[in-house]
Chain A
């Protein structure tokens, strides 16, 4: 069974802390994505990666960075967490074949206080 696993379901952090959200996939997928989901705004793309050590900004990259040192792992980093980064974060992966769907992790609900 294919799997995308996010390291935490729930996380509470303080303003100014450095936060790491980890995502691991076991399907040898080339593409990996980080989205955040906020009410009324759908899934917004933060960053994506199409290969190891490669990254591209999505639509809302400000305040975030990413790391992809190994193919199976894609990390989202909040350098200095702020309250407006309180959200649900979803990781996804896919191959680079157009016919194939994306697989999602279970989501991390991050609260910054």
Chain B
């Protein structure tokens, strides 16, 4: 089993604060790293797909970085809002076929 790990498992953040969480993955046979947001009663939706060491991606208040040599990615949320409450999943693509997910970070924004 190729382990993709996320930390922390859950997080409570005050509205307006910034936060970040971590995804670690095996660096061998790495193809791509995906971040998804999964809101209750909806399907997971992709935030970012990153492939190159040193990649940084940004979408509004959310950004992500990638280090393929040491096998980790960070997701940052700036100025958290209630609508950011969700489970954030990372997934590593091994070879170009097998997409393996971490256990997720459950984020709750406190108004």
Give the B-binding residues of A (Cβ under 8 A).
4, 31, 33, 35, 40-45, 48, 50, 56, 58-59, 90, 92, 94, 96-102, 104-107
Residue of B nearest to A104 (CB): B43
Chain B interface, DSSP helix/strand/loop, else mixed: strand
Give the A-binding residues of B (Cβ under 8 A).
1, 6, 9, 31-32, 34, 36, 42-46, 49, 51, 89, 91, 93, 96-104
B46 touches A101 (CB 8 A): yes
From the candidates A40, A99, A104, name the one contacting B49 in the complex (CB within 8 A). Answer: A99
In the complex, chain B residues whose CB is within 8 Å of the CB of A100: 49
From the candidates A33, A44, A58, A98, name the one contacting B31 in the complex (CB within 8 A). Answer: A98
- Tell me how far the C-beta of B66 lies from the nearest C-beta in chain A, rounded to whole angstroms: 12
A106 touches B43 (CB 8 A): yes
**Known contacts A48-B98, A59-B100; is-contact A42 B89 (Cβ 8 Å):** yes
